[in-house]
């Protein structure tokens, strides 16, 4: 397959499914929640990736008070944070993140700060200096707020940012922010990212003399 070259001024990175493979934990926790609610597990799993938990709950149980969703999401976050069994890096993620040392990039995740730190550590990955987590936004992906906030913090125009995402909600958020999106992994393929890669193994990032980043995927 012919390599694609993109240029950007900053890279904005999702975590779950993009840098960290946490599917085993997500499946355990959310299928258990689905069973307790009498919901179909496959239906629940088709919704939860990329979104904050309370928004997923609101979609799946639209008649339930948001206060209950928020309370259950706090319990879910505690459960997920305590469960690190099966967490591994997405193939290529360690070398990819190492190549970004000193370059403009940020983590933009629907996880809260504690969960994101625990999962990155469990996968043996360095935690980026700038992280936009659930506490920093008022709206969950697919709203673009998180990506726009990261771009503003880095001082980079949204059009000059390149997003790496795996979920439909995340890809929609990146595109809505006016950014190009590299879809990572099999989940991304159905959601029309700008470019699609199976994992991060073949992704290369090079800093040019003018400060721009050349990304080969």
Three-state DSSP class for 197?
strand
Per domain, the residue ranges of the chain are 5-22+87-216, 23-82
State the DSSP H helix or E strand holding residue 89, giving kind and residue range, or none if neither: strand 88-89
Q: Taking a C-beta distance cutoff of 8 angstroms, is the pair 28, 123 a contact?
A: no
Q: Computed from CA positions of residues 161, 181, 116, 85, in that sequence, does the dihedral angle turn out positive or negative?
A: negative
Q: Taking a C-beta distance cutoff of 8 angstroms, is the pair 165, 153 a contact?
A: no
pLDDT single digits (tens) 100-156: 999 999 999 999 999 999 999 999 999 999 999 999 999 999 999 999 999 999 999
Task: For the domain made up of 5-22+87-216, give the CATH fold.
Answer: Rossmann fold (3.40.50)
Q: Computed from CA positions of residues 138, 83, 63, 177, in that sequence, does the dihedral angle turn out positive or negative?
A: positive
Q: Just list the catalytic residues.
A: 14, 16
CA atoms within 13 A on the CB side of 201: 4
Residue whose entry in the numeric block shows the structure tokens 């980079």: 156
What does the pLDDT read at residue 3? Answer: 87
Percent of the chain residues topping a pLDDT of 90: 96
pLDDT single digits (tens) 65-102: 999 999 999 999 999 999 999 999 999 999 999 999 99
């Amino acid at each position: 397959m012919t390599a694609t070259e993109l240029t950007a001024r900053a890279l904005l990175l999702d975590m779950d499914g993009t840098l960290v493979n946490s599917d085993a934990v997500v499946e355990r926790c959310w299928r258990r929640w689905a069973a307790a609610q009498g919901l179909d597990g496959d239906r629940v799993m088709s919704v939860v990736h990329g979104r904050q938990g309370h928004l997923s709950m609101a979609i799946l149980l639209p008649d339930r008070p948001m206060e209950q969703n928020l309370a259950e999401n706090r319990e879910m976050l505690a459960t997920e944070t305590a469960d690190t069994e099966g967490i591994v890096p997405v193939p290529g993620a360690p070398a990819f993140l190492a190549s970004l040392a000193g370059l403009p990039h940020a983590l933009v995740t629907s996880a809260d700060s504690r969960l994101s730190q625990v999962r990155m550590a469990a996968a043996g990955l360095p935690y980026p200096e700038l992280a936009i987590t659930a506490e920093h936004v008022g709206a969950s992906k697919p709203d673009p707020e998180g990506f726009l906030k990261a771009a503003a913090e880095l001082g980079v125009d949204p059009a000059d940012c390149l997003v790496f995402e795996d979920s439909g909600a995340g890809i929609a958020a990146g595109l809505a922010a006016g950014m190009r999106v590299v879809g990572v992994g099999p989940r991304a393929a159905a959601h029309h990212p700008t470019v699609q890669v199976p994992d991060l193994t073949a992704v290369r990032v090079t800093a040019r003399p003018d400060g721009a980043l050349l990304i080969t995927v």
